[in-house]
Amino acid sequence: MKKFVTGLLIMMMVALAAPVWGESTPAAPAKTETAPTAPARTETAPTAPAKTEAKSAPPAKTEAAPTVPAKKEATSATPAKTEATPATPAKPEAAPAKTEAKPAAPAKTEAAPVAAAKKETPPPGKGIAGKVVDAKTKAPIQAAAVTWGDKAVRTDKEGVFRLEGTGETLKVRAPGYAKREIAVAEVTKGSGEIPMTSFKVKGLYLTSYGLASKKLRTAVLEAVKVNNLNALVIDVKGDKGFIPFKVDLPLVQEIGANKPILFKDIKATLDGLKEKKLYLIARIVVFKDDPLAAAKPELAVKAKAGGFFRDREKLRWVDPFRKEVWDYNIAIAKKAAEVGFDEVQFDYVRFPDSRKCTFSKPANEETRTEAITGFLKAAYKALEPYNVMVGADIFGYVSWNTNDTDIGQKIQPAVDSVDVVCPMVYPSGYHLGIPKYRNPVKHPYKIVYLSLKRAQERTGASPLRFRPWLQAFRDYAFGRKIFAEEEMRIQIKAADDFGSSGWMFWNPRNIYPSTGYKQ
């Protein structure tokens, strides 16, 4: 009887308490012909890419321009994580920069850590030098993160690093590769090369409610197994600001962010998933945080008309300029790393895209970008000792826009701040299209490939520094087409042809085709 009641409570939470990912109001994609009603992830239309074909009639710039479905926590009646389209058109940058060498085809397994030699670590104050390379091709890996004790550096374009630290172990990670640990003595006594085995993330999104629901969890894990996927993105702090497991942080308790507790032993839950050889990504929604704003009004975004700013879900946001907000989210990210997640991915790491709100400082392109970049860099620094990958979700149009899309997101600062950038390249999210492709839903391959290519050309970064969010929900802006197996395969091919370090599918209801996109 107790199990029955527990199961019933979880199903009620899935149906009624499911959080919403986004602010605007387009219908959210669903698993069936009946799409759930859902607000989108933004309020105003982000900047559309600049140059377009003269033959295509540009959509009118109106307040009613279709916005993007939102990235939600809910599993049974939530809208999709999508991007809004930017507000003021910006000119895409022209000449592409030099790109980094693209490593060879990835393997799926993690390189076994090199056995420690005699513990002959350099004395305190002495540094070590080494080179991080692809295990198969021996090509240097640029921007790999190397941590020794509490010190960390990134490798240069030749894959070389120099570092002073303490301890007997180096920790190394790089997008597109399995992270590893290696004895310092092995580096100092050997050739100095640290080979990394290729690894591409192929994942599905699972809300905390989805993970708690046996029915949804089982279906997702079966889809992962049948289609030969290897990763899950799981909400640690979702769109409504709640954390589904006990976190020993006073502020979490003070504001009531630990309700409800869905997992009494989150580490055991994650260990069970890791037994299935899954790479686990902690999704943390940053500046959309209703509980924190409600409990700490001084940290909340205010409406110009007075009182709290609320988005289209009637949820409050916190001020990206406030360091107290940074510290709170960084503390949660550390907890995610401690309980066993392989990666921390920050979402809603932006300003609200509304002109009806005010902040603790004047908000313009420069100050917004500094705030968002500052947070990401502070979080990256704080997470260095854990050797977790650090990612940031950005609007798809950020790849095209030269301004900050009015939300503080710019492509180069984003790449400079984290390990992997995750553009949301859902075709439905490009409501103004891109140059030459005015109806993106008819051209999913082009939307995904060209958006990633534009980001790579503008930054000169390796394609491995990008891992896109792809669409597995029904279109809401161009005819309500269902994105199922065929559309998923097309998007996967685009990401793979580009050379990204993997991809992730978003469906807010956690309902994915059981077969048809096997890797």
- The span from the CA of 504 to the CA of 471, in Å, is 9
Give the per-residue pLDDT at 77: 37
Burial class (CB in 10 A: 0-12, 13-18, 19+), 275: exposed
Which stretch, 21-25, 76-80, 284-288, has highest mean pLDDT? 284-288
Q: Residue 402 is part of a domain; what is its CATH number?
A: 3.20.20.80
Q: Which residue has the higher pLDDT, 402 or 26?
A: 402
Is residue 429 within 8 Å of 62, Cβ to Cβ?
Answer: no
Bridge partners (DSSP) of residue 228 are none
- Residues of the chain with pLDDT > 90, as a percent, come to 74
Instruction: Give the residue-averaged pLDDT of 288-293.
Output: 98
> Structure pTM?
0.80
Tell me if 191 is assigned to some domain.
yes
The number of C-alpha atoms within 13 Å of 460 and in the hemisphere containing its C-beta is: 8
User: Do 140 and 209 fall within a single domain?
Assistant: no
The residue among 308, 247, 317 whose CA lies nearest residue 282 is 247
Q: Is residue 173 part of a domain?
A: yes
Q: Given a cut of 80, is residue 111 above it in pLDDT?
A: no
| 276 in a structural domain | yes
Same domain assignment for residues 205 and 183: no
Per residue in 240-270, pLDDT (tens digit) is 999 999 999 999 999 999 989 999 999 999 9
Query: Residue 132: which CATH number?
Result: 2.60.40.1120
In a domain, 30, yes or no: no
d(CA 167, CA 148): 7
Is the domain of 156 the same as that of 274?
no
Residue 489 placed within a domain:
yes
Q: With 50 as the cut, is the pLDDT of residue 400 above it?
A: yes
Residues 287, 429, single domain; the answer is: yes
Rounded to the nearest 10 degrees, what angle do helices 485-498 and 444-459 cross at?
Answer: 20
The Cα-based distances of 337 to 164, 201, 210, 276, 389 in angstroms read: 24, 18, 21, 19, 10
- Give the Cα separation of 183 and 120 in Å (integer): 9
Mean pLDDT of the chain: 83
Residue 281 lies in a domain: yes
Which of the four pLDDT bands, split at 50, 70 and 90, describes residue 5?
very low
Q: Are residues 190 and 320 in the same domain?
A: no
Tell me whether residue 28 is in a domain. Answer: no
Residues 495, 406 within the same domain:
yes
Residue 74 has pLDDT above 80, yes or no: no
How open is the CA angle 149-140-99, to the nearest 5 degrees?
115
User: How large a percentage of the chain has pLDDT more than 70?
Assistant: 76
Tokens of 261: 């507790």
Q: Is the pLDDT of residue 100 over 50?
A: no
Confidence check: pLDDT of 57 > 60: no
Which tens digits make up the pLDDT trace of 118-154?
Answer: 444 455 457 999 999 999 999 999 999 999 998 999 9
pLDDT at 431: 92
Collapse the DSSP code of 225 into the 3-class scheme (helix H, G, I; strand E, B; otherwise coil) and give the result: helix
pLDDT of 26 > 90? The answer is no
Q: Indicate the pLDDT class of residue 39, thresholds 50, 70 and 90.
A: very low
Return the pLDDT at 123.
Answer: 53
Sign for the pseudo-dihedral over CA of 128, 133, 138, 142: negative
Q: How many domains does the chain have?
A: 2
Give the pLDDT confidence score for residue 190 in this predicted structure.
84
3-state secondary structure 29-72: CCCCCCCCECCECCCCCCCCECCCCCCCCCCCCCCCCCCCECCC
Closest to 357 in 3D by CA, of 41, 44, 65, 67: 44
The more confidently predicted of residues 492 and 47 is: 492
Closest residue by Cα to residue 403 from 162, 116, 13, 89: 89
Mean pLDDT of 307-317: 96
What mean pLDDT comes out for the span 187-197? 93
Question: Each residue of 494-504: pLDDT tens digit?
Answer: 999 999 999 99
Specify the pLDDT at position 98. Answer: 40
What is the residue range of 231's domain? 201-357+368-506
Q: Of 149, 177, 196, which one is at a domain's C-terminal end? A: 196
Q: How confident is the model at residue 285 (pLDDT cuts 50, 70, 90)?
A: very high
Position 126 scores a pLDDT of 72
- Residues 182 and 240 occupy one common structural domain: no
Comparing C-alpha atoms, which of 207, 226, 225, 235 is closest to residue 275?
225
**Range of weakest confidence among 87-96, 368-377, 472-481:** 87-96
Average pLDDT over residues 183-190: 91
- Residue 403: helix, strand or coil by DSSP? coil
Does pLDDT of 93 surpass 80?
Answer: no
SS3 of residue 354 by DSSP: coil
Residue 110 belongs to some domain of the structure: no
Q: Which residue, of 181, 196, 211, is where some domain finishes? A: 196
Distance CA 125, CA 175 (A): 30
**Cα separation, 450 vs 457, whole angstroms:** 10
188 and 225 belong to one structural domain: no
Query: Cα-flanking dihedrals φ and ψ of residue 255, to 5°?
Result: -95, 0
Q: What share of the chain is helix, strand, coil (3-state, %, to 5)?
A: 30, 20, 50
- Do residue 221 and residue 169 come from a single domain? no
Q: Is the pLDDT of residue 429 over 50?
A: yes
Are 407 and 296 members of one domain?
A: yes
What's the mean pLDDT in 173-198? 95
> How confident is the model over 75-94, as a mean pLDDT?
42
pLDDT number for residue 48: 47
What is the 8-class DSSP label of residue 398? G
Q: Given a cut of 80, is residue 7 above it in pLDDT?
A: no
Question: Per-residue pLDDT averaged across 39-68, rounded?
Answer: 39
Asked which of 1-15, 290-304, 310-324, 408-422 is least confident by mean pLDDT, the reply is 1-15
List of residues 6+ apart from 465 with CB closer than 8 A: 143, 175, 415, 419, 420, 421, 456, 459, 501
pLDDT of 363-394, one tens digit each? 999 999 999 999 999 999 999 999 999 999 99
- Name which residue leads in pLDDT, 119 or 217: 217
Distance CA 207, CA 233 (A): 8
Domain end position, chosen among 196, 215, 231? 196
The verdict on 313 and 456 lying in the same domain is yes
In 3-state terms, what secondary structure has residue 360? coil
Considering the domain architecture, whether residues 147 and 247 belong to the same structural domain is answered as: no
What are the distances in angstroms from CA 39 to CA 22, 36, 67, 410?
Answer: 6, 10, 9, 24
Q: Provide the pLDDT confidence category of residue 28 given band limits of 50, 70 and 90.
A: very low
